[in-house]
Amino acid sequence: MCGLVGFISHQQQDAVLESMLSVLSYRGPDDSGVLVSQINDNFIHLGQNRLSIQDTSKKGHQPFVSDCGNYVLVFNGEVYNFKSIRVELETLGQTFISGSDTEVILYAYKHWGMACLDKFIGMFAFAILDKQKQQLTLVRDRAGVKPLYYHLSDGGFAFASEIKSFHKFPSFKKKLNKSVLPYYFQFGYIPAPHSIFENTFKLEPGCYLEIVLKGSVPLFSLKALKENKGTDPFKKYWDVAEYYQKGKFDDSEAKIISNLEELLTDAVNLRMVSDVPVGVFLSGGYDSSLVTALLAQDKSRKLHTFTIGFEDKKYNEAEHAKAIAKHFNTQHTEYYVSNQDMLDKIELLPYHYDEPFADSSAIPTMIVAELAKKDVTVALSADGGDESFCGYSKYFMLKRFESTFNSSIKKGSVNGLLSLFNEKQAERFNSWLPKKHQATNIQDKYIKFKRAMGSESLAEMFSNASSYVDSYDVGRFLKVDSDLLGQFKFDDKLSFMDNMMLTDYKTFMADDVLTKVDRATMSVSLEGREPLLDHRIIEFMARVPLGIKYKNKQGKYLARQILYKHIPQAMIDKPKAGFQIPLVDWMLSDLKPLVDKHIIESQLDDEIFDVSEVMVIKREFYRGKHILVNVLWFILMFQMWREQWDV
């Protein structure tokens, strides 16, 4: 894993390049390199910090220049099948000086152009300078595992793995992009292609951007980019929606399970290709247990697994993960997290996440990454399983009420019934159920459920069930209006369930989950790999009939059937928990000094907030209206981010 930076300007600025690169040194502490090339009136600056994974020698040094000198690459990520691509290139007469995937990527481009992307299985963000075409191309992987940002200004065009590098770019202005704030305060993250700053964007997953280096045309706007190219410079080379739109498989269930297991096995084994130690984040849930189970089939492989636990049994899954690790005979490391451990990480969040980011599970993710880094340089995570295998409980809940929107009488009945209960009563009712039927984090789920039932369409219902803060509450305290939020767009030709999974894959997973894992792992120079986000898996699962994805009232039905081959069913079946923290308890105690420091009238911008309403929300929370905890947490993360970056 690495950090890359670059910019185009009309004068050479070596010191700026070095400064932008040094900010990301923790992403690649093993090596660093820069290069400046002039094409016409443009100076193209490229820099990269390297975390050595494949061929740890200096032969993999970047920027990597081709043997002919016409192509230059800076690259972050891994192409796992690079060895087979290398063999194919060698049959075409290509020779190699290293054993790195970096060199394979560059020569794949040299021989096949952008069609090389169809061959890559992996996670990547890279920039290729093609001197023959006089063109710079930025590329991001299909799922968006690796980040890539770009900035346009009158001083030129810049790109980087993280926004913080732009703070060292002379013409970068820290001008708040207020249009994204309603989205952030409802969902807790900022969606691609937008960022928290004006004129600064995320390159969307599955896309590349071509920049033609003509004369002295200034690249200070998207309009200028398009005029310089003559056509749209943004190209989408892969879109998961295309696979949902294809016909469903008509194979037998047994055949589908067999094909899926073969895909999964290849995906996890490919991600063990490394010249440094590799481990697995093991939570004890279906997804991480499945990854561990498939890897454990190679008995010659000694697996390292890592888990964190919590003293509060309500949040603790460490004992279960330990049992899974024992079953597969892994070299297991667990660490019980104290409140102080997590509180120490909170003030680091605004620095490492660059933008306001309110997913509180970033805190335990940073801690488990730090734990793993003591023993390994690469760790496999199991993100993407819920979106691909149909795992989120909201899918099943909302599916049951799909027919509600065909009957106003039913809808009124549902809302009337829900009004009889509050979230605390729902938690009490949940505790009366048999343990195997109990839901975790029931209060939050019940609140989202009530919110969803007040919707006017299926898309709005899904949006409300996916948000952490009620749009009504956002409207109370936020002065900013925006047409960015609206509601998720559903495809009328797809089923409700397919629309939900597709939307989560393209939004929540890419901009929340993967951002969380990338920054957490990179903060300690650890490479995180995502086997369940192998594009072949989601392409396959998008075409699996819903009746097999969700069967016997079970999500992840297919993943379960494969896992049951390797572990007793009774050992793995349990309610889903996930990384959670006792946020209400913290806001009432340990975090109260931070709240009182950042959420006070003198610190709140009255052009953004209705300050009096924010103070009312704060008082209501401390008087017992704990349903407002996410509102207060989101505001706190925003305020701490503004202080960190002096915005």
Residue 154 host element (H or E): none
Question: If pLDDT is split at 50, 70 and 90, which confidence band does 51 have?
Answer: confident
Question: If pLDDT is split at 50, 70 and 90, which confidence band does 407 have?
Answer: low
Mean pLDDT calculated for residue range 383-406: 86
**Per-residue model confidence as pLDDT tens digits over 477-528:** 999 987 766 568 899 999 999 999 999 999 999 999 999 999 999 999 999 9
Structure tokens at 642: 């503004």
Phi and psi angles of residue 505, each rounded to the nearest 5 degrees, phi first: -60, -40
- Which of 328, 391, 340 has its CA nearest to residue 367? 340
Question: If pLDDT is split at 50, 70 and 90, which confidence band does 29 have?
Answer: confident
Residue 410 is predicted with a pLDDT of 44
- The helices-and-strands tally (H runs, E runs) of the chain is 30, 17
Q: Residue 10 contacts by C-beta under 8 Å, 6 or more apart in sequence?
A: 41, 42, 43, 156, 216
Query: Which of residues 406 and 59 earns the better pLDDT score?
Result: 59
- Residue 524 corresponds to which amino acid? V
Task: Find the range with the poorest average confidence among 234-238, 498-502, 540-544, 585-589.
Answer: 585-589
Taking the CA atoms of residue 7, residue 8, residue 14 and residue 16 in that order, the dihedral angle to the nearest 10 degrees is: -50
Asked if residue 409 has pLDDT above 60, the reply is no
Asked if residue 440 has pLDDT above 90, the reply is no
Asked if residue 73 has pLDDT above 70, the reply is yes
Mean pLDDT of all residues belonging to the chain? 89
Longest CA span, the chain: 74
Structural domains of the chain ordered from first start: 2-172+206-238 (3.60.20.10), 242-389+501-572 (3.40.50.620), 393-495+582-645 (no CATH)
Please confirm, yes or no, whether 2 is among the known catalytic residues. yes
Structure tokens at 330: 């892994």
Mean pLDDT calculated for residue range 138-162: 95
CA distances for 75 relative to 3, 63, 300, angstroms: 8, 8, 32
Cα gap 140→465, rounded to integer Å: 29
- The DSSP letter of residue 29 is B
Cα gap 619→378, rounded to integer Å: 45
Partners of residue 125 on adjacent β-strands: 76, 140
Asked if residue 580 has pLDDT above 80, the reply is no
Pairing of strands 122-130, 71-79: antiparallel
Query: Which of residues 519 and 400 earns the better pLDDT score?
Result: 519
Question: If pLDDT is split at 50, 70 and 90, which confidence band does 412 have?
Answer: very low
Structure tokens at 223: 């309009």
**Per-residue model confidence as pLDDT tens digits over 177-203:** 999 999 999 999 999 999 999 999 999
The helix, strand and coil proportions of the chain, stated in percent and rounded to the nearest 5, come to 45, 15, 35
**Per-residue model confidence as pLDDT tens digits over 84-136:** 999 999 999 999 999 899 999 999 999 999 999 999 999 999 999 999 999 99
Query: Which of residues 307 and 412 earns the better pLDDT score?
Result: 307
How many residues make up the chain in this entry? 647
Question: If pLDDT is split at 50, 70 and 90, which confidence band does 32 have?
Answer: confident
Cα gap 614→478, rounded to integer Å: 9
Q: Where do the DSSP E strands lie in 472-560? A: 527-529
Q: Residue 151 contacts by C-beta under 8 Å, 6 or more apart in sequence?
A: 157, 158, 159, 166, 169, 172, 197, 199, 200, 201
- Among 2, 116, 207, 390, the active-site one is 2
* Continuous H helices in 507-556: 508, 514-522, 535-541, 546-549
- Residue 480 corresponds to which amino acid? V
Structure tokens at 621: 């929370």
